[in-house]
A and B are shown apart, each in its own frame.
Chain A
Amino acid sequence: MPMPEFELQTLKEKARQLRTDIVDVTFWAGGAHIGGALSMVEILVILYYKFLNIDPAQPEWPQRDRVVLSKGHAGVGYAPLLARKGYFDFEMLRDFNKFKSPFGMHLDSLKVKGVDVSTGSLGHGLPLAAGLALGARVQKQTWRTYCILGDGECNEGSIWEAAMAISHYKLTRVITFVDRNKYCVDGATEAVMGVEPLADKWRAFGFDVLEVDGHSFAELEVAIQRAQQAETRPVVIIAHTLKGKGVYFMEDDVKWHYGGLDSDALARAKQSIDNMTAGKT
Chain B
Amino acid sequence: MAEGLTWTVYDANTMTQADIYGEVLCAIGENDPRIVGLSADLAKSTKIARFAEKFPGRFFNAGIAEQNMFGMAAGLAKSGLIPFVSTMAVFTTMRAAEQVRTDICYQNLDVKIIATHAGISFGQAGTTHHCTEDLAIMRAMANMTVISPADGIETANAVRACVDYPGPVYMRIGRGFEPSCYGEEKYGFRIGKAVEMHPGSDITAICCGITVLQAMEAARHLKETDGLSVRVINMHTLKPIDREAVLSAVHETRRIITFEDHNIYGGLGSAVAEVVASSGKACAFEIVGIPDCYSLVGYPEDLYHHYKIDMDGIVEKIRETMGKDFEEDDDWEDEV
Contact = CB atoms under 8 A, between A and B. Distances in A.
Interface of A: 29-31, 72, 97-108, 118-123, 152-153, 155-157, 184-186, 189, 192-193
A78 to B, nearest CB: 13
A157 B65 contact: yes
Given A103-B297, A185-B42, A118 B64 contact: no
Contacts of B41: 152, 155, 184-186, 192-193
B335 to A, nearest CB: 37
B126 A106 contact: yes
A164 to B, nearest CB: 16
Contacts of B64: 122-123, 152-153, 155-156, 184, 193
24 contacts: A29-B124, A97-B298, A97-B299, A98-B298, A98-B299, A99-B297, A99-B306, A100-B298, A101-B297, A103-B297, A104-B127, A104-B297, A106-B128, A119-B128, A120-B128, A121-B129, A152-B41, A152-B64, A155-B65, A156-B64, A185-B41, A185-B45, A192-B63, A193-B63
A30 B176 CA distance: 15
Contacts of B253: none
A57 B311 CA distance: 45
Contacts of A101: 297-298
Q: How large is the interface on B (under 10, 10 to 19, 20 to 34, 35 or more residues)?
A: 20 to 34
Contact of A120 (B61, B125, B296): B125
B49 A186 contact: yes
Given A99-B302, A123-B64, A192-B61, A186 B42 contact: yes
B296 A118 contact: no
B291 to A, nearest CB: 16
B68 interface: yes
B296 A100 contact: yes
Interface in B7-38: none
B208 interface: no
Nearest to B88: A121
Contact of A100 (B45, B91, B297): B297
A105 B129 CA distance: 9
B19 to A, nearest CB: 17
Interface string B245-265: 000000000000000000000
A108 B127 contact: yes
Contacts of A104: 123-127, 297
Interface in B86-103: 90-91, 95
Contacts of B43: 186
A265 B298 CA distance: 24
Interface of B: 39, 41-45, 49, 61-65, 67-68, 90-91, 95, 123-129, 296-299, 302-303, 306
Nearest to B306: A99
Main DSSP-derived SS at the A contact region: loop
A42 to B, nearest CB: 24
A243 to B, nearest CB: 14
Given A98-B299, A157-B65, A192-B61, A105 B95 contact: no
B97 to A, nearest CB: 13
Given A72-B128, A101-B298, A106-B128, A186 B44 contact: yes
A189 B67 CA distance: 18
A184 B41 CA distance: 7
A98 B296 CA distance: 10
5 closest cross-chain pairs (CB), A and B: A193-B63, A104-B126, A120-B128, A99-B298, A155-B63
Contacts of A103: 297
Nearest to B42: A185
Contacts of B127: 104, 106, 108, 118, 120
Nearest to A31: B124
Contact of A105 (B45, B49, B90, B125): B125
Contacts of B49: 186
A254 to B, nearest CB: 9
Given A100-B297, A119-B128, A193-B61, 6 more contacts: A31-B124, A99-B298, A99-B302, A101-B297, A121-B90, A186-B61
A203 B67 CA distance: 24
Contacts of A186: 39, 41-44, 49, 61
A156 B65 contact: yes
B44 A185 contact: yes
B63 A105 contact: no
A101 B302 CA distance: 12
A104 B123 CA distance: 8
Contacts of B298: 97-101
Contacts of B125: 104-106, 120
Contacts of B124: 29-31, 97, 104-105
B128 A193 contact: no
Nearest to A101: B297
A245 B42 CA distance: 23
